Copies of this chain bind each other. A is one copy, B any other.
Amino acid sequence: MKLSTKSRYASRALIELGLKYGEGPVKLKDISAIQDISLKYLEQVMFPLRIGGYVKTLKGSQGGYILARHPNSITLLEIVECVEGPIAPVDCVDRPGFCGRSEQCVTRDAWIGLKNVIRSELGNTTLDELVAKQRQIDG
């Protein structure tokens, strides 16, 4: 039941973008330094977020990343599922055919319930809120 570093890094990177929302592009190099994340790895983490339409990029000098959507419309759930794939504590949750006994399996129902509360919790946390809290901490 662990999130990978991709989810953690993506969340922290998008918070940095949220802090600078409306102020032009932010370089990964800066995020990498501030958040202490390998630049090269961060590049890979950001890739699906661009494909998913959460960030836009500007190449070349003075380029960087900006949020493609308002922070209040982006949830943690979207970030996590974008970089990590659909959340399902067990494979049979999304693919009943994964296990031949899915039809008669009572644990599967429990795993489905678990998936739902996880998605609900993450879906109710917006980037906006996280950025606001971060501003409070930074003072």
Q: What is the CA–CA distance of A5 and B51 in the complex, to the nearest angstrom? A: 32
- CA–CA, A100 to B35, complex, Å? 11
**CA–CA, A110 and B125, complex, Å:** 8
Tell which of B36, B76, B91, B110 touches A130, judged by Cβ atoms closer than 8 Å.
B110
Q: With A107-B12, A114-B118, A118-B114 in contact, is A1–B133 under 8 Å at CB?
A: no
In angstroms, Cα B109 to Cα A70, docked, is: 22
Closest to A9 in B: B107
Contact (Cβ within 8 A) A125 B137: no
A: number of interface residues (CB 8 Å): 39
Residues of B close to A110: CB separation below 8 A: 11, 76, 122, 125, 130
Q: Can you spell out 7 A-B residue pairs with CB atoms less than 8 angstroms apart? A: A1-B87, A2-B89, A3-B111, A35-B101, A36-B101, A109-B133, A110-B125
Interface residues of A (CB under 8 A from B): 1-3, 8, 11-12, 15, 35-36, 76, 80, 84, 87-91, 100-101, 104-107, 109-111, 113-114, 117-118, 120-122, 125, 130, 133-134, 137-138
Other A-B contacts than A2-B88, A8-B90, A117-B118, 4 sampled, CB-CB below 8 A, are A36-B101, A110-B130, A114-B122, A117-B117
